[in-house]
Structure 1
Amino acid sequence: MTTSSPQTPGDAPGPHSGPGGPGPGGMPYYQPTQDQYGRSTRGAPPPQHARLLKLTLASAGFYLLNLVVSLIVTSTVDLTGVYENLGFTPEQAQMAASQASGSMLGTSITAVIALGLYALIYTGLKKGRNWARILGIIFAIVSIIGSLFGIAGSLIFGGWAVVLIALTVAVLIVDILWLITAFKAPVRAWFTHRP
């Protein structure tokens, strides 16, 4: 007659071992992506999530810096001369220069709205909201398109062109990196997870 050695709970896998079933010592075993009741949860954010937050802050910083430099350029450059060099008549150049100088209020309002949107997206991303990732993707694409036009537009400002182009290229690089990070599989999966 053979005797089997006694087994302790958890020594051999049973029908309920594994996720949600008994683990070593009869204690419940939970996956890191499950709550205490065995329901699926999101889990910790992937490392790329922190990078996405940093890139969001970098994009906002470069946007603000680019805005400040653009305001300095438009207030120090002879816009009438710039427009005349583009082929405008002196009257047209004077009118275009006064309109460009008078748009400071509009630029300030746009800046406040844009920075508010950056704050909204950053807060949503930090909380893991997928709508914030989607909104960020839309604004990054719009920013990339605007940056490409901005590089061409910067050429008319003479000596300031190098500074403006460098800032625009920095914004372009940050936005491209932001998009790449936002579309990475771990980030996308974490943001789109539905418990």
Structure 2
Amino acid sequence: MDKLQIEQVSRQWLEEIVIGLNLCPFARRELVNNRVRFAVSEADSEEALLRGLQEELRFLEEHPDTETTLLIHPGVLTDFDEYNDFLAAVDGLLQLLELEGIYQVASFHPDYRFAGTGAEDAENYTNRSPYPMLHLLREASVERAVDSHPNPDAIPERNIAVMAELGADDLRQRLARIIAGNA
């Protein structure tokens, strides 16, 4: 797939899964207001991805009208365990750039697996995406969104219940359809 197709797949995933299933009650507003940046990286190494991450953080610093970035990196860290280990380097970069507390990075991966879950448990689909991606969020915006929500602590529990109700087979088919529909 080319970069445009990867962006289209990622956008459709955001629309149908994240927003459509209300996994993130804050995402719809930002997408509708065109404040979500989809950045498809051509990185083929962890070092190149870290450089791309630094560029995206700089972009957000220079463009306050962009609320958040999905840094999609289909060519690197396709193995979930390697991806999960890489998140320590992401945290280290935020510290090095003195951006800890200003930005946070949420993680999404096609094989996402929460600790203590089986590889095919439905709850893992709350963080499963068509491609590996890093979601760059403004910390102040996250705090405002959480403060405005009537019960933010219930969001993860609700999401797990939704995923369990749909089941892993249904969710796997949804992701496959999104990817196939844009190939």
Higher strand share: 2
**Shorter-normalised TM-score: what interval?**
under 0.3
Name which one, 1 or 2, has greater alpha-carbon Rg. Answer: 1
Q: TM-score, length-normalised on structure 1?
A: 0.21
